[in-house]
């Protein structure tokens, strides 16, 4: 990535999250480059899963015990991913294919700050957990990506409609920074599990809450499995076109994302 674009990214990130651009002036350029690369690598790992050859992350054991309360978002989150404008030249042989893939994903995925450490009791999230159980009875299609899209969309519009009932999500015209939306706005997720895993804000496993999305079984830089958390370490997913209620995976690389957030 170019020095110019690294500086632009760092200015945005530090202005939003670290007290302002004064830190840019005080730090050596080489250190800033390293900081940007480390952050870029973290954003890639959250969106794509661990790079080949790295040790998968084993999530903390979930429990019904409460965790220490803290801010749902420790720092202001940029409304646009600072890496969304990052591009690499086609003839740059020093750039790994994974980095090129990640740069394209950053156009969609929201920038990730520290893991959310507060459990959620948002009304839309609670509705999503209820719909996760009632959706099969309503005759929804037993396909994982459709299941997740329909439940999250139906829960996101329940506040405005006053009814927490299963429905079908419209097709996504475009996907841009598919993180948590403002309260009452519809959440229309992408149409594949791979792309859905780019959405939302990463959650500390100890703070998993009803309505959170769970992604696992990462292969070739993409999640292949998805489910909707019920809380207490349980989720509903689809296996072989059957709806299954099971425990949240406790081994391998697992990402928990929150797309239903009551933010102002």
Residue 251 banded pLDDT, cuts 50, 70, 90: confident
For residues 97 and 129, membership in a common domain is answered with no
**71 in any annotated domain:** no
Q: What whole-number distance in Å separates Cα of residue 136 and Cα of residue 235?
A: 14
For residues 83 and 198, membership in a common domain is answered with no
**210 in any annotated domain:** yes
For residues 212 and 99, membership in a common domain is answered with no
- Beta-ladder partners of 225: 216
For residues 137 and 253, membership in a common domain is answered with yes
For residues 96 and 164, membership in a common domain is answered with no
**111 in any annotated domain:** no
Least confident of 55-59, 221-225, 236-240: 55-59
CA distances from 71 to 118, 166, 227, 230, 233 (A): 7, 31, 25, 22, 22
Looking at the structure of the chain, the number of domains it has is 2
Q: Is the pLDDT of residue 7 over 80?
A: no
For residues 140 and 248, membership in a common domain is answered with yes
In this structure, the strands spanning 242-247 and 213-218 are unpaired
Higher pLDDT, 182 or 214: 214
Q: What is the mean pLDDT of the chain?
A: 80
Position 90 scores a pLDDT of 85
Q: What whole-number distance in Å separates Cα of residue 164 and Cα of residue 157?
A: 8
Are the beta carbons of 229 and 208 closer than 8 angstroms? yes
Residue 185 banded pLDDT, cuts 50, 70, 90: confident
Q: Is the pLDDT of residue 193 over 60?
A: yes
For residues 89 and 168, membership in a common domain is answered with no
For residues 183 and 94, membership in a common domain is answered with no
For residues 12 and 132, membership in a common domain is answered with no
Q: Which domain holds residue 183?
A: 123-258
For residues 180 and 210, membership in a common domain is answered with yes
Position 263 scores a pLDDT of 55
Of the chain, the percentage scoring pLDDT greater than 90 comes to 51
* Highest mean pLDDT: which range of 21-35, 51-65, 202-216: 202-216
3-state secondary structure of 105: helix
Residue 95 banded pLDDT, cuts 50, 70, 90: confident
For residues 40 and 155, membership in a common domain is answered with no
**118 in any annotated domain:** no
- Give the pTM: 0.82
Least confident of 12-21, 33-42, 203-212: 12-21
Q: Which two tokens mark 255?
A: 């990402």
**115 in any annotated domain:** no
């Amino acid at each position: 990535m170019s020095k110019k674009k690294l500086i632009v990214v760092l200015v945005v990130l530090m202005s939003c999250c670290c007290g302002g651009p004064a830190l840019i002036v005080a730090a050596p350029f080489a250190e800033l480059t390293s900081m940007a690369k480390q952050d870029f690598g973290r954003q890639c790992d959250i969106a794509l899963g661990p790079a080949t050859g790295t040790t998968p992350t084993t999530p903390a054991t979930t429990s019904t015990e409460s965790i220490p309360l803290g801010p749902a978002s420790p720092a202001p989150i940029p409304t646009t991913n600072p890496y969304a404008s990052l591009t690499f030249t086609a003839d740059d042989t020093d750039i790994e294919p994974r980095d090129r893939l990640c740069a394209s994903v950053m156009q969609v995925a929201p920038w990730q700050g520290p893991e959310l450490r507060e459990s959620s009791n948002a009304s839309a999230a609670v509705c999503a957990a209820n719909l996760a159980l009632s959706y099969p009875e309503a005759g929804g299609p037993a396909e994982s990506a459709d299941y997740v899209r329909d439940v999250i969309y139906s829960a996101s519009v329940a506040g405005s409609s006053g009814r927490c009932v299963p429905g079908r999500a419209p097709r996504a015209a475009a996907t841009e920074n598919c993180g948590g939306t403002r309260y009452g706005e519809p959440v229309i997720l992408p149409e594949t599990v791979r792309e859905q895993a780019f959405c939302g804000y990463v959650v500390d496993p100890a703070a998993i809450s009803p309505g959170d999305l769970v992604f696992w079984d990462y292969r070739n830089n993409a999640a292949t499995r998805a489910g909707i958390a019920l809380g207490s370490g349980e989720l509903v997913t689809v296996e072989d076109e059957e709806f299954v209620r099971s425990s949240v995976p406790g081994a391998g690389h697992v990402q928990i994302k929150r797309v239903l957030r009551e933010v102002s």
